[in-house]
Amino acid sequence: MSRFTTDSIIAVIGAGTMGAGIAQVAASAGHPVLLFDTAAGASQRGIDNTAKGLSRQVSRGKMSQQAADELIARITPVSQMTELAPAALIIEAIVERLDIKQQVFGQLEEICSADAVIATNTSSISVTAIGATLKRPQNLVGMHFFNPAPVMKLVEVISGLDTDPQIANDIYALSASWGKQPVLAKSTPGFIVNRVARPFYAEGLRITQEGAADIATIDALMRECGGFRMGPFELMDLIGHDVNYAVTCSVFDAFYHDQRFLPSLIQKELVDAGHLGRKTGRGFYDYSEGAQKPDAKTAAPYPAPKSIIVEGELGVAEPLLALFEQAGIQVERTDNDEVEGMITIGDATLMLSNGQFTTMRASETMRPNLINFDLALDYTRSTRIALAPADQASDEAIQAAIGLFQAIGKSVSVIDDIPGMVVMRTVCMLANEGFDAVNQQVCDEAAVDIAMKGGVNYPCGPIEWVNNLELSYALDVLDNLMDAYGEDRYRASPLLLRKVAGGAA
C-alpha cells in the first residue's frame, strides 16, 4: 500500500516562488495543503500570487474557474509551525543554509508524528549533512523541484546516507502521481542536474575565452545547430551570474577542486563588477532600454558547388547527403570505406569534428584545405552550422564549403580553429559527466537523460545523444581534447572507456 493518498496532508515551509509553486503542485493533485512561512502574511501572499497565476490560465482557456477555485481552496495558510502536526509529508523550500534547515527539521521532529516524511528542496546542500543532527534521519529525503515548480517536470529524489530506501521510493511514486518525472539519486555535490550541466556553461566560456567565437555566435550555434532552447550566455544571464557562479564554485569546492568543474575568470569578472545578467540590466548582453542584441556572425553568400565526392561513412552527418541532392548538387560516393568519412569539393575537404584542431588534423591527413564542421542535433532541421577551417586552408576552399551548406538553407558561422568546435565538445562533455555520475553510483543512465531533459529542457539526453553519435566517436573527441589541452578536465569517464572497450558502438 502506498504511504501517501490524496487524503494525505502535505505541508510546505516557505511561501516564496518555489514554495508556493510546490503547494500548487500538491493541491493540483488533490491533496489538502498547509502553507507556512515565518514572515507575517507571506503564506497568504503566496496563495494570492498562485491565484493570480491561475486566473491567467482561466483567461487563456487552459482551466475552468471552478477548477482554479477548488485548487486554491485546498491550500490553507498557517501562521505557526505547530499547525503542521497533521502533515504526512513536509517539504521545506527555505533559504540555502545548512544550520537553518537543521533547525527547522529538528523542530518538525518534535511537532510531527514519528512516521512523517520530511523533505528538503535544497539544490546544493548535502541531504546527509542536513540529517546529521536529526533524531530520525531515515525520514529525511531530498525532493528537488525546478523553477517554476508547476511547469517543470523533473523532481530529483535524493537519498542521504541514512535515508530509508522505502521512503525514497514512496516519494518517487508520489512525484509520479503528481505528473512529474522523478529520478532517484544519491546525495552528492550538484545531485544530477547541477553537476551534469556544468560543461554547458564551462565549454561556452572556454570557447569565448580563447577567442574562437563571440558570445552571440556561440549562443546561436547552440540554439540553431544544437537544438537547445537557449545558448549558455543567454541562460547564465537569465539565471544570474551570482547564482550560476556560486553553484559552479560550490561544486568545484565539493569535489576537492576537480578541474572538470573549474570556475571561469570571465564569469567572476562579471560578478565582481555587479553585472549579474537580466536582473541588473547587464551581463554578457546589455538589457538596458534601447540596447540591441548583437547578431551571430554569419558568412556572406557564396555559390553552391555543382558536385561533391563522399568517401567513407559520415555517421550522424549522413542525412546531409540527401539534402545536397535535393538542392541539385551531384553526390558521388567512392567505394573506399577504409577512410574517415569526408566530403571533397575540388581541393576542399570537409569532415565532422573529432575533437582535434582542424589545423592538426589537416597536417596529419595531408589535406591542407581541410574544414571541420560541427555536430548538429538534427542535420535535416538545423538552421545553422559552424565551420572551422585549418590555418592553411585557402579562401577558395572555405568559400566552397560555405556555399555547400548555404545551398541547403543553412546559415554558416565560420569560427576560429578550436578543438571540438562548439556543439560537439559541449555535448561530449555533458555526456562524459553523465557517465561519471553513473560510474560513481549517483544514478543510472536513464536518470541522467530524464533529468537533463526535464530539469533544464535539453533537446536530447546527453547519453542518448552520444549513443546516436557512437560512443567510440565521443571517446575519440574527448581523447583529442585531452591531447590538445593536456588538462585533466577532459579525461574520459571510466564507464565510457569500459563501454567502448566492451564493444559498445
The residues annotated with a catalytic role in the active site are: 123, 144, 156, 194
Q: In angstroms, rounded to a whole number, what is the distance separating the alpha carbons of residues 251 and 257? A: 8
| Residue 186: strand pairing partners | 159
258, 408 Cβ separation under 8 angstroms: no
* Region for 298 from its dihedrals, namely left if φ exceeds 0, alpha if ψ lies in -120 to 50, beta otherwise: beta
Q: Which residue has the cell 546544493?
A: 124
- 392 secondary structure, DSSP code: T
374, 418 Cβ separation under 8 angstroms: no
Q: In angstroms, rounded to a whole number, what is the distance separating the alpha carbons of residues 331 and 310? A: 7
- Cell matching residue 377: 542535433
How many Å separate Cα 63 from the centre of its chain? 30
Q: Which residue has the cell 589541452?
A: 485
3-state secondary structure of 307: strand
* Residue 8: partners with Cβ closer than 8 Å, 6 or more residues away: 31, 88, 89
Q: How many residues does the chain have?
A: 505
Q: In angstroms, rounded to a whole number, what is the distance separating the alpha carbons of residues 348 and 367? A: 8
Q: Which residue has the cell 521532529?
A: 109
Q: In angstroms, rounded to a whole number, what is the distance separating the alpha carbons of residues 97 and 439? A: 29
Amino acid at 124: S
Question: Could you tell me the sign of the dihedral formed by the alpha carbons of 204, 205, 208, 214, in that order?
Answer: positive
SS3 assignment for 140-155: EEEEEECCCCCCCCEE
Q: In angstroms, rounded to a whole number, what is the distance separating the alpha carbons of residues 143 and 12? A: 12
- 379 secondary structure, DSSP code: T
How many Å separate Cα 307 from the centre of its chain? 39
